[in-house]
Amino acid sequence: MASQRETESLADSVVRYLTEGQPEKRGLEVKTDGNVIHTIFQRISGSQDFKMSLRTRKPIRNAIVCLSQEEKVILEKKMPKTIPAEMIQIPVKAGRIVIRDVLPCSCTSLQTMKGVTYC
C-alpha cells in the first residue's frame, strides 16, 4: 500500500501535469548499464529534486547503485542485495547534477570491484 508521502508526491505530479502539460522531451536522459533494466524517470529536467526508481536485471549481492556524470559520482547507494522484483528508490538532489546531458545509472557488485579504486 502506498504511503501518504508517495500519495502526496503522485498528486503533486498530476497537478503539475494538468497545469503545465506534458513535460518537455528535452532534458537529461537517464542511461542504464546491463544490470539496470528499468528506470523511472527516463528523462529528468535536472532543475528539481526527484526520486529515481529502478529495477535490476538479476539478483546482485553487495550491490552499489551509482549515478554519475563525466567520471564524477553524483550519488551511490550500497545495498546488501538487489532483486528484480524489488523497485529500488533513491532520492536525488538537483544540486548534485552537474551538467545537462546524460545521467548514467549503474548497479554492480562490490565483489566484481575488488582491487579497483572507486569513488
Asked if residue 16 belongs to a domain, the reply is no
Query: Is residue 12 one of the residues assigned to a domain?
Result: no
Instruction: Flag whether 66 is in a domain.
Output: yes
How many Cα atoms occupy the beta-carbon half-sphere of 110 within 13 Å?
A: 12
pLDDT for 10 equals 73
The H-or-E segment that residue 65 falls in is strand 60-69
- The answer as to whether 3 is a domain residue is no
Cα-flanking dihedrals φ and ψ of residue 115, to 5°? 80, 0
Residue 68 lies in a domain: yes
Q: What is the pLDDT of residues 3-47, one digit of tens each?
A: 677 778 778 878 877 887 766 666 777 888 888 887 877 777 777
Domain that holds residue 102: 25-113
What average pLDDT is seen over the chain?
Answer: 77
* Per-residue pLDDT at 95: 81
Inform me whether the pLDDT recorded for 86 exceeds 50: yes
Q: What is the pTM of this model?
A: 0.67
**pLDDT at 80 (0 to 100):** 92
- Mean pLDDT of the region 56-70: 86
Residue 17 lies in a domain: no
Residue 1 has pLDDT above 60, yes or no: no
The more confidently predicted of residues 106 and 115 is 106
Checking if the pLDDT of 107 tops 70, the result is yes
Q: Looking at the predicted structure, is the pLDDT value of residue 117 above 70?
A: no
Task: Compute, in degrees rounded to 10, the torsion defined by CA atoms 101, 87, 57, 47.
Answer: 0
Examine residue 62 and state whether it is found in any structural domain, yes or no: yes
Domain presence at residue 18? no
Domain count, the chain: 1
